[in-house]
RNA sequence: GGGCGGGUAGCUCAGCUGGGAGAGCAUCGGCCUUACAAGCCGAGGGCCACAGGUUCAAGCCCUGUUCCGCCUACCA
């Protein structure tokens, strides 16, 4: 005989339903739909990428939002796509070539770019498949790529317009140069890292070779590019110098001593070597003093002819050699260990060199001002708000954005230089003639644009801009951008700038900034550290739903999420619990269960319906405010500890009871309704298992994705909310728990039937026990249950005190008197501690005079309850003691 | 140098506008009870980093100290 599945097996289920969703186009947005629109553009993963934890969190949160809004009845667009990731991708393909013993220079630009496209074709969709594994409900038919024709047109259009508006310019400036990637980098693409090096003190002698000025540097090899020594204008030490110039060591070149306020008098000797071509400050100083700016390190990291006999030497080798030479000549005054920050390439970690070169820049200030204003005036909300401060900070101090890169893979800058007059023509398409002189031979700029330039246009370029497309009309601005804080500046701020400039509206109404996923120890996951947890492995092992639920439950954490498989395992148990509870429910419900028959519902049914509606509402509220963890927690608590622990247990007698009884039909109907609504509420978090159960649930048709959330505004929603039922159920639960507690503490076998007597003065309790005593009898495994006004107490009884009542479990003959004495004493001690705290408050006139009424009332009630409880226990304790 | 976040149970973390300290995991005890041992029932466990302050009342607000982490920066 075929055994039913004991546990939930996600493997086949996930594949099956994902295919089903795609097949039925359930992810498709419709630009001519009248329903309220909801849109998200995905942060495009790099084409080189493989799914990591960061993607998993980011994509899961977006998917939860999209699925939630679909269940709300919205017309949802989740725009997917990938990023060409200029330097990163070029590096990957170059590495591949290197493995074959080739390099891009042999191939030439065109063939190299073809090779990159080929590579993208064969492996670029890996990341997309992995997103699908996660359940991502993107509208895949609309998938875009930052280098596809449409987006490339958008890039050129933006470039041309900004150029003509004077917001893009070309100029000679100090930029960050990576010798390995052989390109300029923007300031953001440089990672500063503390490195321990040396601070060298070098004497620059006066021209008569006497004395001199001692300067300090961490990069002695750059001295060949020095064109001055600078001191502070107010520095007394350098007031009357024997000479106004010094000899540059190892060269014999004479350089002037200049006065510039940039120099810090307190640092070292207060004298600074000025190397305009290789240091941003020195560059500024050089400009102020009209100094020449010779380059001493070339684009490959080797010394130029300026370095004399060191020409051609590697920059770091040269450093050693220069130090040695200086020492030989007695010009090295001192060396001290010095730790300082050094810039590294964010892609290949090579030490970057500040380097003078001709680059393209975006004038950022005017764009930034509007981006700041848009957040200040609430057009875009940043959530959590704390990140707005970082956003302002960066934009307020923004510097011009270096957008040109000396690589091949990317959008080639649409600028052409005239062979005849040397003037620039910037145009959407290759110009036939020079704008200035009309000459017809023009050469295109070889540089490509920073990858983030095209990313900055993503919210509107993907929707068809520069066309005024129906998609833009329907879905721009997008509802929310979900992203990690690591790209707040790289991406979010720049999308804001570009969106406002070109669309005259912000790109998104909300920005939800989530944490970064780290390993168990809180370290960044990286291949080199070997601490990477692969999301695919986790999904294989625990199922995608369990993984997604974990991510959602973690989403609240501040800046870090420490991922551990242990946690995922816990949530796998939850998925399995849901699975088993559903299996149980499915044994009892039928298509006829869809309508709840007229007639009074049993208390547990009233209660669970009330709870279900309340949880649905709270979970929805949590999602509306991006409190993913709260929503997940509410549903978890409800399913496990209310639906399973209490409701399913209370209704078993009815479900296994007499066929045809009204209570049976009723219970089946309630079970059906609660299960159905629970599945819908859970679906955004755990799409696969809920879809699977949905199809097993009689009376449902089609995909759960077409269902509607139970929520405010629905006809009939709220009609089951019932505070009285919740109160009565709370009484029953506390009585049962009290009796179970006695059983546990006394080590009484679960199979031993007990009697219980409840003393209470509260008619609500008396009535509840009278009407629903069967539930207590069943779940506390009682033989007899009675309720009475307080009076004669049974002999040798264990006691449980609950709010407003006292429960006796007579244990004549089996009560361990010593044990019960101990238990009661411990309990009383705990109570007196609580009680003394409360009493202190009530005897405090300040408290009584200043605290609000409701608080005082609460404390008084608390006091009464505690002392009543203590009294009861004390009486019992005395009684037991008398028996010993 | 500037800024930000965090220090709550053994572990990982919740704790919203101040009003009786929570969850999951782990631990201990009892249960194969007919959806589930990936389970059920129960228990123990916290000077909420430290020191002050504001308040009738502080995990929460203010000040300082300390430890950890991150971001940012042109002192060579």
Q: Which of residues 380-409 of A touch strand B (CB under 7 A)?
A: 386, 389-390, 393-394, 397, 399
Tokens representing A221? 């090899």
What's the whole-number mean pLDDT along residues A49-64? 90
Higher pLDDT, A718 or A681: A681
What's the whole-number mean pLDDT along residues A692-707? 93
Q: How far apart are CA A732 and CA A713, in angstroms?
A: 32
Minimum CA–C1' distance nucleotide for A215:
B76
Give the pLDDT of residue A331: 86
Full DSSP string of A327-338: HHTT-EEEEEEE
pLDDT band for position A149 (cuts 50, 70, 90): very high
Q: Are A359 and A175 in contact (CB under 8 A)?
A: yes
Q: How far apart are CA A299 and CA A355, in angstroms?
A: 9
Give the pLDDT of residue A529: 63
DSSP label at residue A719 = T
Instruction: Compute the C-alpha angle A197/A199/A203, nearest 5°.
Output: 150
Considering Cα of A116, then A117, then A119, then A123, what sign does the dihedral take? Answer: positive
pLDDT over 70, % of chain A: 97
**R_g of chain A computed on alpha carbons:** 37
Q: Are A605 and A672 in contact (CB under 8 A)?
A: no
Q: How far apart are CA A462 and CA A318, in angstroms?
A: 49
Burial of residue A584 (CB within 10 Å: 0-12, 13-18, 19+) is middle
A558 CB and strand B closer than 7 A = yes
Nearest Cα neighbor of A14 from A696, A703, A693, A689 is A689
Residues A806-842 have pLDDT tens digits of 999 998 878 778 778 877 887 888 888 888 888 888 8
Give the pLDDT of residue A519: 65
**Closest residue by Cα to the C1' atom of nucleotide B68?**
A522
Q: How far apart are CA A786 and CA A770, in angstroms?
A: 8
The integer distance in angstroms from the CA atom of A734 to the C1' atom of B19 is: 25
A472 CB and strand B closer than 7 A = no
A501 CB and strand B closer than 7 A = no
Minimum CA–C1' distance nucleotide for A583:
B35
The integer distance in angstroms from the CA atom of A61 to the C1' atom of B36 is: 29
Contacts 24+ apart (CB under 8 A), A377-380: A379/A505, A379/A506, A379/A509, A380/A496, A380/A506, A380/A507, A380/A508, A380/A509, A380/A510, A380/A511
In A638-762, alpha helices (H): 649-655, 662-682, 687-696, 723-745
Q: Are A262 and A281 in contact (CB under 8 A)?
A: yes
Q: How far apart are CA A652 and CA A64, in angstroms?
A: 34
A11 CB and strand B closer than 7 A = no
What's the whole-number mean pLDDT along residues A773-796? 91
Q: Describe the crossing of helices A687-696 and A565-586 by its angle, rounded to 10 degrees.
A: 10
Nucleotides of B under 7 A from a protein CB: 3-6, 12-15, 19-20, 23-25, 29-31, 33-43, 55-57, 69-76
Residue A554: CB atoms within 10 A of its CB come to 22
Residues A384-398 have pLDDT tens digits of 888 888 888 889 888
Q: How far is CA A264 from the centre of its chain?
A: 42
Q: Are A648 and A617 in contact (CB under 8 A)?
A: no
Asked whether the predicted pLDDT for residue A787 surpasses 90, the reply is yes
A242 CB and strand B closer than 7 A = no
The integer distance in angstroms from the CA atom of A8 to the C1' atom of B36 is: 10
Residue A384: asked if its preceding bond is cis (omega within 30°), the reply is yes
A572 CB and strand B closer than 7 A = yes
A778 CB and strand B closer than 7 A = no
Full DSSP string of A508-564: EEEEEEEPEEE-TTSPBP-TTTT-PPPHHHHHHHH-HHHHHHHHHHHTTSSSEEE--
In A377-475, alpha helices (H): 386-396, 451-455, 458-461, 470-475
pTM: 0.91
What was the ipTM of the complex prediction?
A: 0.94
Backbone angles phi, psi at A243, to 5 degrees: -150, 150
Nearest Cα neighbor of A314 from A235, A399, A221 is A221
pLDDT band for position A473 (cuts 50, 70, 90): very high
A319 CB and strand B closer than 7 A = no
Token pair 């079970």 is at which residue?
A: A671
What's the whole-number mean pLDDT along residues A330-352? 85
């Amino acid at each position: 005989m075929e055994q039913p599945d004991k546990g939930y097996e996600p493997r086949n289920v996930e594949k099956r339903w994902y295919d089903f969703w795609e097949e039925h186009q359930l992810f498709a947005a419709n630009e001519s739909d009248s329903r309220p629109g909801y849109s998200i553009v995905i942060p495009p993963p790099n084409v080189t990428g493989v799914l990591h934890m960061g993607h998993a969190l980011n994509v899961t949160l977006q998917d939860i939002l999209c699925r939630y809004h679909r269940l709300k009845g919205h017309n949802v667009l989740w725009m997917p796509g990938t990023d060409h990731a200029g330097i990163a991708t070029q590096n990957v393909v170059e590495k591949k070539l290197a493995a074959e013993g080739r390099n891009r220079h042999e191939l030439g630009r065109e063939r190299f770019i073809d090779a990159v496209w080929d590579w993208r074709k064969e492996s670029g969709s890996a990341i997309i498949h992995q997103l699908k594994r996660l359940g991502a409900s993107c509208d895949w038919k609309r998938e875009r790529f930052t280098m596809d024709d449409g987006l490339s047109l958008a890039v050129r259009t933006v470039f041309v317009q900004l150029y003509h508006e004077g917001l893009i310019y070309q100029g000679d400036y100090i930029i960050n140069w990576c010798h390995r990637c052989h390109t300029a980098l923007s300031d953001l693409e440089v990672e500063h890292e503390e490195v321990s090096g040396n601070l060298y003190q070098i004497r620059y002698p006066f021209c008569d070779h006497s004395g001199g000025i001692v300067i300090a540097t961490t990069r002695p090899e750059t001295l060949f590019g020095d064109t001055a020594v600078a001191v502070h204008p107010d520095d007394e030490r350098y007031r009357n110098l024997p000479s106004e110039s010094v000899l540059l060591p190892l060269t014999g070149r004479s350089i002037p001593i200049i006065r510039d306020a940039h120099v810090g008098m307190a640092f070292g000797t207060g004298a600074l070597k000025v190397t305009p071509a290789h240091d941003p400050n020195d560059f500024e100083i050089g400009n102020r003093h009209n100094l020449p700016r010779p380059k001493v390190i070339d684009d490959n990291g080797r010394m130029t002819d300026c370095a004399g006999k060191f020409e051609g030497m590697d920059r770091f080798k040269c450093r050693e050699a220069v130090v040695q030479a200086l020492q030989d000549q007695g010009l090295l005054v001192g060396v001290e260990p010095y730790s300082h920050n050094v810039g590294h390439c964010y892609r290949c970690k090579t030490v970057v060199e500040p380097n003078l070169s001709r680059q393209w820049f975006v004038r950022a200030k005017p764009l930034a001002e509007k981006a700041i204003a848009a957040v200040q005036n609430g057009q875009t909300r940043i959530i959590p708000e704390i990140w707005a401060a970082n956003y302002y900070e960066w934009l307020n101090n923004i510097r011009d954005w270096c957008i040109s890169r000396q690589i091949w893979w990317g959008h080639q800058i649409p600028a052409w230089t005239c062979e005849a007059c040397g003037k620039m023509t910037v145009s959407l398409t290759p110009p036939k003639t020079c704008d200035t002189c009309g000459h017809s031979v023009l050469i295109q700029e070889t540089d490509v644009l920073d990858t983030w330039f095209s990313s900055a246009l993503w919210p509107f370029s993907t929707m068809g801009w520069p066309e005024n497309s129906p998609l833009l009309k329907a879905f721009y601005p997008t509802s929310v951008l979900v992203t990690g804080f690591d790209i707040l500046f790289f991406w979010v701020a720049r999308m804001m700038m570009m969106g406002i400039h070109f669309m005259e509206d912000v790109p998104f109404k909300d920005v939800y900034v989530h944490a970064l996923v780290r390993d168990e120890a809180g370290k960044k996951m990286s291949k080199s550290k070997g601490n990477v947890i692969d999301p695919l492995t986790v999904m294989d092992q625990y199922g995608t739903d369990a993984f997604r639920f974990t991510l959602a439950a973690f989403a609240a954490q501040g800046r870090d999420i420490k991922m551990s498989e242990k946690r995922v395992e816990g949530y796998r148990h939850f998925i399995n619990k849901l699975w088993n509870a559903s299996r149980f429910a499915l044994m009892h419900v039928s298509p006829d269960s869809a309508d709840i028959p007229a007639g009074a519902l049993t208390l547990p049914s009233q209660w669970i319906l009330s709870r279900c509606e309340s949880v649905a509402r709270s979970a929805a509220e949590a999602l509306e405010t991006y409190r993913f963890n709260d929503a997940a927690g509410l549903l978890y608590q409800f399913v496990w500890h209310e639906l399973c622990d209490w409701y399913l247990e209370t209704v078993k007698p009815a479900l296994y009871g007499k066929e045809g009884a009204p209570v049976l039909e009723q219970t089946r109907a309630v079970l059906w309704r609660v299960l159905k609504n629970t599945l819908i509420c859970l679906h955004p978090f755990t799409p696969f298992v809920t879809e699977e159960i949905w199809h097993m649930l009689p009376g449902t048709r089609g995909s759960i994705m077409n269902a509607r959330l139970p929520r405010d505004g629905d006809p009939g929603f709220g009609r089951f909310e019932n505070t009285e039922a919740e109160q009565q159920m709370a009484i029953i639960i506390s009585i049962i728990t009290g009796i179970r507690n006695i059983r546990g503490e006394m080590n009484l076998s679960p199979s031993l039937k007990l009697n219980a007597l409840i003393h209470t003065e509260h008619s609500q309790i008396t009535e509840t026990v009278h009407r629903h005593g069967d539930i207590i009898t069943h779940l506390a495994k009682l033989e007899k249950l009675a309720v009475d006004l307080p009076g004669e107490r049974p002999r040798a009884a264990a006691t449980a005190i609950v709010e407003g009542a006292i429960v006796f479990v007579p244990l004549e003959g089996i009560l361990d008197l010593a044990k019960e004495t101990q238990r009661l004493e411990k309990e009383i001690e705990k109570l007196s501690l609580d009680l003394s705290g409360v009493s202190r408050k009530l005897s405090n006139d300040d408290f009584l005079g200043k605290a609000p009424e409701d608080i005082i009332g609460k404390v008084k009630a608390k006091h009464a309850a505690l002392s009543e409880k203590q009294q009861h226990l004390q009486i019992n304790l005395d009684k037991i003691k008398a028996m010993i």
